[in-house]
């Protein structure tokens, strides 16, 4: 068997056999298949898709590429959560300690930034001394002592996904639904969690731009989890505007701590509690109240113990973004004259260092500076009825007069949200919940960012 025949099969819209899938995943993990060949296969999958049988086999092959963990020795039931990512999506940071404070164990294996979205590990590394890489023994120890751990997947856990994850980020194949579903579920199933809640983002700031793609991805992942004996539930939540008031690694950590301290933006608090209730329900702790754990400070106590157990200093000051100022000529980037050298770093579109392999997001292993980010000090305008960016749309269930034969399972696109989402997807069913709108950075009734910069605010 050779990789060229596998690429040609998917290029010509054929179905990959189980033998082809098993071989190509194993060969790529061992380094026999080159990155450019796997890139071609990933692009063919993006363009032509995979059926349910192919996705299930691809996921199983990625799981079998490494070891599997077992948390049976823990004294608590396990529950995990995964988000498909968006702008300002910092929910994992306050969510894990809240759920742990309610009696569940949260083995949160997280990743780096992918595409335009920020990575949970990148955010937490803003805390001085914090370690993302833990051995299996260290992970179990932190889980038993604190109830929650947020760390990177070990080298032995789904190593095929680790290589493919980084490759997709630089080859324009991030949005492939089969690859998203298999990447997420291979790690979560190999991790050994007993239950899983998926936060599938939909909107202009998410990988899934429309509700149909988001529902397809959610149903695919729920099916994969159920087939492997993991109780899996997915929520479809809005990402047509950033979550909270901050976007950027250190800024989002600071905002998460504010939520744990009893403050923070309301949209972040609402979504965190909604996901916490789903996780606790899936773990069999239906009587636990996450709002109480947040209010009485027990969630903050778990956060501090968790950070300290992973080498971090929960009291350390976080890096702050530098205020923008007019640059002097000697600071300008020689490759991109309109950018400041220390602010460009090859990140600007069209900057030659990025295209030639410089330190930009087009290269594997790139990480955004910890202090980089943006904060909105004003919040959403109270008189903005759309509660979003001008010209953007919201996705919500159809109004009663527009419902089809499926009743509440129909969807429509509207300019204003109602209070009927997000949607909850379980094995074979879709239910409606409460809409949790995000807070936009800018709205139509406020000054533009360009005008703010001229004022120096």
- Is position 161 annotated as part of the catalytic site? yes
- Is position 377 annotated as part of the catalytic site? no
Tokens representing 314 are 């929960």
Checking 295-304 for CB contacts under 8 A at 24+ apart, the result is 295/262, 297/262, 298/101, 299/94, 299/97, 299/98, 299/100, 299/101, 299/260, 300/97, 300/260, 300/261, 301/101, 302/97, 302/98, 302/100, 302/101, 302/146, 302/147, 302/148, 303/94, 303/97, 303/257, 303/260
Which one from 10, 112, 123, 187 is the annotated catalytic residue?
A: 187
Q: Are strands 374-375 and 246-247 parallel, antiparallel or unpaired?
A: antiparallel
Specify whether the CB–CB gap between 79 and 283 falls below 8 A: yes
Q: Report cis status (omega within 30 of 0) of the bond before 422.
A: yes
- Is position 82 annotated as part of the catalytic site? yes
Which one from 183, 195, 240, 256 is the annotated catalytic residue?
A: 183
Tokens representing 30 are 């061992």
E strand map for 181-295: 195-202, 231-238, 246-247
Which one from 57, 112, 123, 168 is the annotated catalytic residue?
A: 168
Which one from 80, 161, 169, 376 is the annotated catalytic residue?
A: 161
3-state DSSP assignment of residue 340: strand
Which one from 10, 82, 345, 398 is the annotated catalytic residue?
A: 82
The Cα–Cα gap between 272 and 95 comes to: 6
Q: Is 229 exposed, middle or buried (0-12, 13-18, 19+ CB in 10 A)?
A: exposed
The Cα–Cα gap between 91 and 182 comes to: 22
The Cα–Cα gap between 212 and 219 comes to: 11
Q: Which residues are catalytic?
A: 82, 161, 168, 183, 187
């Amino acid at each position: 068997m050779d990789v060229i025949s596998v690429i040609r099969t998917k290029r010509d819209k054929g179905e990959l056999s189980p033998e082809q899938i098993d071989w190509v995943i194993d060969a790529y993990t061992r380094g026999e298949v080159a990155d450019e060949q796997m890139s071609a296969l990933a692009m063919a999958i993006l363009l032509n898709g995979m059926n349910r049988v192919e996705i299930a086999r691809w996921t199983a092959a990625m799981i079998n590429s490494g070891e599997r963990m077992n948390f049976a020795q823990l004294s608590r039931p396990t529950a995990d959560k995964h988000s498909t990512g968006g702008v300002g999506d910092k929910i994992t940071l306050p969510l894990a300690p809240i759920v742990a404070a309610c009696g569940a164990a949260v083995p949160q294996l997280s990743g780096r930034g992918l595409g335009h979205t920020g990575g949970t590990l990148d955010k937490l590394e803003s805390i001085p001394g914090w370690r993302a890489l833990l051995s299996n023994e260290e992970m179990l120890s932190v889980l038993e002592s604190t109830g929650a751990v947020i760390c990177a997947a070990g080298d032995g856990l789904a190593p095929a996904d680790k290589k493919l994850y980084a490759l997709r980020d630089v080859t324009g194949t991030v949005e492939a639904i089969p690859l998203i579903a298999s990447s997420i579920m291979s790690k979560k199933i190999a991790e050994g969690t007993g239950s899983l809640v998926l936060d599938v983002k939909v909107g202009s700031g998410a990988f899934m731009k429309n509700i149909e793609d988001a529902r397809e991805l959610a149903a695919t992942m729920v099916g994969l989890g159920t087939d492997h004996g993991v109780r899996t539930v997915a929520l479809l939540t809005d990402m047509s505007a950033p979550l909270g008031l901050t976007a950027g690694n250190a800024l989002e950590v600071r905002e998460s701590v504010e939520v744990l301290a009893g403050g923070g933006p309301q949209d972040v608090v609402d979504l965190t509690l909604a996901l916490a209730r789903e996780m606790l329900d899936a773990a069999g702790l239906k009587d636990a109240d996450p709002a109480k754990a947040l209010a009485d400070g027990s969630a903050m106590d778990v956060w501090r113990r968790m950070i300290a157990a992973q080498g971090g200093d929960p009291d350390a000051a976080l890096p702050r973004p530098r205020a923008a100022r007019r640059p002097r000529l000697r600071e300008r980037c020689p490759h991109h004259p309109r950018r400041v050298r220390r602010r460009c770093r090859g990140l600007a579109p069209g900057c030659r260092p990025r295209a030639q392999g410089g330190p930009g997001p087009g290269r594997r292993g790139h990480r955004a500076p910890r202090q980089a980010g943006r904060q909105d000090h004003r919040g959403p305008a109270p008189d903005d009825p759309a509660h979003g960016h001008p010209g953007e749309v919201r996705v919500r269930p159809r109004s009663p007069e527009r419902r089809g034969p499926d009743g509440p399972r129909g969807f429509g696109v509207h300019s204003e949200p109602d209070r009927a989402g997000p949607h909850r997807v379980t094995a074979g069913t879709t239910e409606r919940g409460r809409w949790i709108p995000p807070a936009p950075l800018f709205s139509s009734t406020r000054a533009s960012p360009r005008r703010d910069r001229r004022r120096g605010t």
